[in-house]
């Protein structure tokens, strides 16, 4: 039989009219026919025709003669009524879409939750979006800016080092009492890149040395507030500029405010600071050096501080409510976290031996206080909140609430200025 070659090693009928195809079918034995079906374009061994080949074809007059159904579901055999070309592949087209099991395996198999041969449901694939976002964010890395404020000597640097297991204050210079009296509030920044299981975090610690150290501490919160506003202003400028691609985000996401364990609740300076800053930053109050207090004292002080926060209308960072479908353990953990405010913490950068284990703690003649023992202090709760559970929420609140407030105020005052200027011009024209 005379056959032209369509795809390497397979034969196709030369006469492609209905009668020609019928003849081809009658004259061909089963084995040959099977080989033809197996080898012909559209099957795995030969590439499929491109969809655009159909688009550019001339209109086919109706009705079309029906061709015998030679192939499986995915292939349709049509008699060619448009001008013939030597490329026999044009007469086969893939009917779309292929069922998931018939589709080629995704190279991103591990990222594709539906990429399993058992799953025969039709799907578009947007279920992989979280994975795509995850990959992109991990590649980009994360940043977080934490501010610590409170009078010097309350254990701020020790706690920060204990929290992130780094030595961020290597080149800190401690001032003498005389120097501290003269010192004004300074703002210093320490940045460190931390990597954990392939996830990179650029951590920036903003310290406020000199805060509360002077004889007269009136308005010593001002430089801190100005610093926070400057970061918002810088971000606002960058965001409104031409190149918005690589904006460095220096906005302060959280401020740990250290409260002395030696006073009776909040001091006037604490109230003044928190009230001046609560609209600008997420404040998390900390009861410092909790090892200097007995457990009932810690409870009493915590209660007093909570009452005073309420009484003075201070808005400290509010933990978001749990979703109703969260499991009970998570809800209990969340409740315990909310009730721990202010977090009573202990800091230490030394490792001591306690009950045969090496732990981070403070060694006293009467015993050891362990930083990471939940029975001794709230250090683990604070670290869990700050790093594991609420870091993203702190960033979201900064962006959606504090920065938005700043931005709205900026736009409002800019608009006012423009209106004023226009009115002035109008008046001078008249
Ligand atoms: P900062 O000035 O607020 O940064 O305070 P430092 O971290 O430099 O700590 C001042 C002193 O307090 C140091 O001698 C620390 O060892 C000590 N210290 C830090 N944290 C604690 C704590 O939780 N409990 C006690 N008792 N002392 C602490």
Question: Which of 8-17, 137-146, 178-187 is predicted least confidently?
Answer: 8-17
Structure pTM? 0.69
Q: How many CB atoms lie within 10 A of CB 44?
A: 9
256 versus 249: the higher-pLDDT residue is 256
Q: Is the pLDDT of residue 243 over 50?
A: yes
Is the distance from the beta carbon of residue 346 to the nearest atom of ligand 1 less than 6 Å?
Answer: yes
Instruction: Decide: 292 in ligand 1 pocket, CB within 6 A.
Output: yes
List, for residues 201-241, the tens digit of each pLDDT value. 888 999 887 676 666 677 778 889 999 999 999 999 998 88
Report the domain count for the chain.
1
Site to substitute for ligand 1 among 164, 347, 360, most atoms within 8 A of C-beta: 347
Taking the CA of residue 345 as reference, the ligand 1 atom at the shortest distance is 23
Domain of 203, CATH number, reads 3.40.50.300
Question: Which ligand 1 atom is the nearest neighbour of the CA of 150?
Answer: 3
- Residue 357 clears pLDDT 80, i.e. is over it: yes
> How would you classify residue 218: left for phi > 0, otherwise alpha for psi between -120 and 50, otherwise beta?
beta
The whole-angstrom separation of Cα 147 and Cα 253 is 8
CB 151 within 8 A of CB 214: no
Residue 6 lies in a domain: no
Of all protein residues, the one whose alpha carbon is nearest to atom 10 of ligand 1 is 153
What is the tens place of the pLDDT at every residue in 38-52?
Answer: 554 444 433 333 333
Q: How many residues does this entry show for the chain?
A: 430
In the predicted model, what is the mean pLDDT of the chain? 75
pLDDT of residue 271: 94
168 in any annotated domain: yes
- Whether 8 is in a domain gets the answer no
Distance 155 CA to ligand 1 centre (A): 3
**CA-CA distance, 228 to 186, in Å (whole number)?**
13
Least confident of 153-167, 200-214, 274-288: 200-214
Q: Tell me, in angstroms, the distance from the centre of ligand 1 to residue 228's CA.
A: 26
Q: How far is the CA of 107 from the centre of ligand 1 (A)?
A: 53
Q: With bands split at pLDDT 50, 70 and 90, how would you rate the model's confidence at 247?
A: confident
Establish if 134 belongs to a structural domain.
Answer: yes
Residue 7 lies in a domain: no
Rounded mean pLDDT of 383-387? 90
Does position 75 have pLDDT exceeding 60, yes or no? Answer: no
Alpha helices in 295-351 (DSSP H): 295-311, 328-339
Ligand 1 pocket check for 155: Cβ under 6 Å: yes
Residue 82 has pLDDT above 50, yes or no: no
Q: Output the residue whose Cα is nearest ligand 1's atom 27.
A: 289
Which of 155, 293, 373 best tests ligand 1's pocket when mutated (most atoms within 8 Å of CB)? 155
The predicted-structure confidence for 89-126, as pLDDT tens digits, reads as follows 333 334 444 454 554 454 444 555 555 555 556 677 88
**Domain hosting residue 162, numbered range:** 130-355+365-418
Ligand 1 neighbour 152 (Cβ under 6 A): yes
Which among 212, 214, 295, 223 has a CA at the least distance from the CA of 257?
212
Does residue 20 lie within any of the structural domains?
Answer: no
CB of residue 228 inside a 6 A radius of ligand 1:
no
Our answer on whether the CB atom of 162 is closer than 6 Å to any ligand 1 atom is no
């Amino acid at each position: 039989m005379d056959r032209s070659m369509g795809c390497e090693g397979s034969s196709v009928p030369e006469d492609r009219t209905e009668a020609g195809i019928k003849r081809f079918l009658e004259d061909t034995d089963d084995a040959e026919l099977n080989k033809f079906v197996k080898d012909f374009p559209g099957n795995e061994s030969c590439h499929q025709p491109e969809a655009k080949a159909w688009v550019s074809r001339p209109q086919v007059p109706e009705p079309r003669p029906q061709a015998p159904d030679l192939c499986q579901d995915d292939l349709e055999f049509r008699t060619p009524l448009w001008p013939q070309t030597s490329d026999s592949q044009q007469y086969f087209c893939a009917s779309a879409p292929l069922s998931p099991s018939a589709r080629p395996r995704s190279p991103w198999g591990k990222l594709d939750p539906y990429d399993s041969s058992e799953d025969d449901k039709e799907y578009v694939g947007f279920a992989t979006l979280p994975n795509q976002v995850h990959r992109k964010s991990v590649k980009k890395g994360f940043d977080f800016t934490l501010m610590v404020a409170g009078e010097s000597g309350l254990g701020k640097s020790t706690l920060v080092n204990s929290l992130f297991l780094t030595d961020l204050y290597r080149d800190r210079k401690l001032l003498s009492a005389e120097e501290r009296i003269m010192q004004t509030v300074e703002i210093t920044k320490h940045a460190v890149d931390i990597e954990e299981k392939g996830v990179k975090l650029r951590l920036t610690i903003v310290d406020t040395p000199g805060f509360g150290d002077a004889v007269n501490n009136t308005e010593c919160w001002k430089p801190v507030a100005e610093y926070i506003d400057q970061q918002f202003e810088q971000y606002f400028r960058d965001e409104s500029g031409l190149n918005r691609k690589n904006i460095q985000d220096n906005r302060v996401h959280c401020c740990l405010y250290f409260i002395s364990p030696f006073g009776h609740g909040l001091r006037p300076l604490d109230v003044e600071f928190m009230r001046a800053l609560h609209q600008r930053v997420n404040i998390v109050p900390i009861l410092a050096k909790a090892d200097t207090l007995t457990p009932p004292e810690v409870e009493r002080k915590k209660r007093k501080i909570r009452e005073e926060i309420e009484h003075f209308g201070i808005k400290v960072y509010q933990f978001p409510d749990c979703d109703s479908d969260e499991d009970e353990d998570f809800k209990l953990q969340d409740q315990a976290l909310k009730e721990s405010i202010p977090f009573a913490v202990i800091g230490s950068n030394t490792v001591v031996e306690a009950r045969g284990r090496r732990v981070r703690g403070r060694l006293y003649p009467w015993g050891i206080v362990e930083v990471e023992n939940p029975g001794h202090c709230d250090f683990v709760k604070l670290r869990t909140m700050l790093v594991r559970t609420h870091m993203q929420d702190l960033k979201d609140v900064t962006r959606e609430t504090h920065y938005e407030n700043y931005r709205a105020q900026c736009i409002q005052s800019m608009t006012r200025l423009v209106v004023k200027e226009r009115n002035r011009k109008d008046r001078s024209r008249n």
